Structure 1
Amino acid sequence: EHADSLSIVSLADHLAKLTSRDLQRLETKVPLQTLRAVVDLAVEIGREGREGKPVGALFAVGNHRKVLAASHEQVHDPFKGYSQKDRMVNNPRVKESMKELAQIDGAFIISSDGVVQSAGRILNASAEGLTLSKGLGARHWAAAAISKETGAIAIAVSESTGTVRIFQDGYVVLRIEPMSSAMKWFDFDTEPPQSE
């Protein structure tokens, strides 16, 4: 038999589309706007690294008081002493600083309203009872553990692959592969047109 038609689907374009619904499925009090800002930053770090070198990162979003209590300072906190406005994750200058600071060990602790509370924190949550895929390192175990212990959403960027994994309650709930171009968001918050 001969094919009478051929469809070409750009898988890269399809995979680069993350919908707001994907994040809305997470059962969290963290606003969608904050999650999107942190996920965008994580994907940029995974895709670009820093100055051509691969970089990993770890973000704990929401329940920041519990996360701070379950962590300790690795380095002097680079965000200490700045106003809330100067620590907002959606501020382009803050994002650039975070990309630079991702090169140091430790997690970024971000409140539900998008304020970076601290950076360079070592997470002390226990990974006991957790199960992760082979090949995931300490950053991913720390993300899983802190999400389980505190209820925060944890986002880990793999230094070796650039893959972004989102953790909730100790489990990977979303995985985003690195893209060659910026991620596209699609909102489905509007109602469909009414038929007459």
Structure 2
Amino acid sequence: MVDNASRRGAADLAMPLMVMAFLVIGGFMYWLMGQASEYRELQVLTEDSIASAEEAVTATTVAVVDLQTDPTPFEEQTIRVAGLAILSPFGEQGFWLELPNQNPFLVSMSEEVLAEGLVLSQGLGATPTGVLHAMNDSARAAWAAAGTISEGDQLAAEFATHFLEATQVVVASGDGGGNAPGAGN
């Protein structure tokens, strides 16, 4: 018969090792529960901040074709126009975007955007977000009274039927999505 005397020590440690394994697993599960609650609190805070940011800026992204065809349905709505190149400045007040049909579209910057001191040069891509308004004499007169547009800009603004009062402008480097003159040639 085989002598099992060498295995007696292992049998005596089985119960303490099993209890210690359960305690380690229990401690690990408790630690995971604490980590999960911290993560859950962080996730709730993040979701709340995202929801409040989305409520603050609920802009409809408008297709450029809709804007160049007839912007009237979007009057007095907060819209976003993406993928257009800056055609030229509009005094210190704003800039003209170049639509795909080569027509300009006026963007007037709000005081907050003007305070940011954006560098806007011809050919850069811009994504303005703001309220679309029908052009009127009082808007042109207010810009002229503020000294942000010249007399020549006033005359140019008379040809605009609508303008976007931008509350946010994101300027991208490059050629503005290929709408700049000579792009893609």
- Asked if these proteins are the same fold (TM beyond 0.5), I'd say no
The TM-score bracket by the shorter chain reads: under 0.3
| Structure with the larger helix share | 2
- TM-score normalised by length of structure 2: 0.25
Structure possessing the higher relative contact order (Cα contacts under 8 Å, 6 or more residues apart) = 1
- TM-score normalised by length of structure 1: 0.24
Rg larger for: 2
